[in-house]
Structure 1
Amino acid sequence: MSNAKDNVLPKWLQLGDGIATVALSRPSQANGIQVDKLTLREPTVREMRAATLQGGSNEEEQEMVLFCSLASIGRADLEGLLMRDYRRLQTAYFRLGADDGV
């Protein structure tokens, strides 16, 4: 049974049609500019397969490859995020991929 609280989005997360926008807890570098938000788009099957191939059996590496692709940022930018903001990206990714329709 689903709890109503489970359906409430955190204030730092906005979901749209195939995208999730995450407000960062502090500005960070992304492609050479300071940003206070990152946007993830929903992955394609091709991207999922590529992340699996590039990351091998290392799930953490697969996720890093995938998030760089979905957010269109470089690896150093992703690794430069605060852990709190990386967790926000993880949460956004899983919310983005949820099929809430019946």
Structure 2
Amino acid sequence: MSQASDKTPSWMTLSSDSVMVALSKPVEMNGVVCDRLTLRAPTVRDVRAASAAGVGDDEQRELMLFASLAQISTKDLESMALKDYQRLQAGYFRLVQEDEL
């Protein structure tokens, strides 16, 4: 794998316990206009709760998980531009991937 594919995008700030994603356009979340969104690292409890509430609907499960991790509503996530939601997905998967040895 090349170093270029391992490079963190400029719109993503990754730490051991969270990922911050800069949005391409501001969006209202919890009544406040935001230009970035932070997801905390999930726990097993977070994943189980989202899976139980999603009842076989993978999209709903993911929305519920991300909303919980960002402490916003699923409606706020649904109002995001698709490009920004995809950034959030990329950030989440970077956050939970196994560290290299």
Task: Tell me which residue corresponds to 2:3.
Answer: 4
Task: Tell me which residue corresponds to 2:17.
Answer: 18
Percent identical among aligned pairs is 44
* In 1, Cα distance between equivalents of 2:11 and 2:3: 18
Please say if 1:85 is aligned against 2:93: no
Deviations 1:28-65 (A, max 9, x none): 01100000000001100001000000001111111000
1:34-45 to 2 correspondences below 5 Å: 34-45=33-44
- Hey, which bits of structure 1, 4+ residues long, moved more than 3 A? none
RMSD across aligned positions (CA):
0.8
User: Mind listing any 5+ residue stretches in structure 2 that lack a counterpart?
Assistant: none
What SS does structure 1 have at the residue aligned with 2:33?
strand
Deviations 1:2-37 (A, max 9, x none): 221121011000001210000000110110000000
Q: TM-score normalized by structure 1?
A: 0.95
How many residue pairs are counted as aligned between the two chains? 101
Q: TM-score normalized by structure 2?
A: 0.96
Deviations 1:70-93 (A, max 9, x none): 111111110000000000000000
Task: Tell me which residue corresponds to 1:55.
Answer: 54
* In 2, Cα distance between equivalents of 1:34 and 1:88: 18
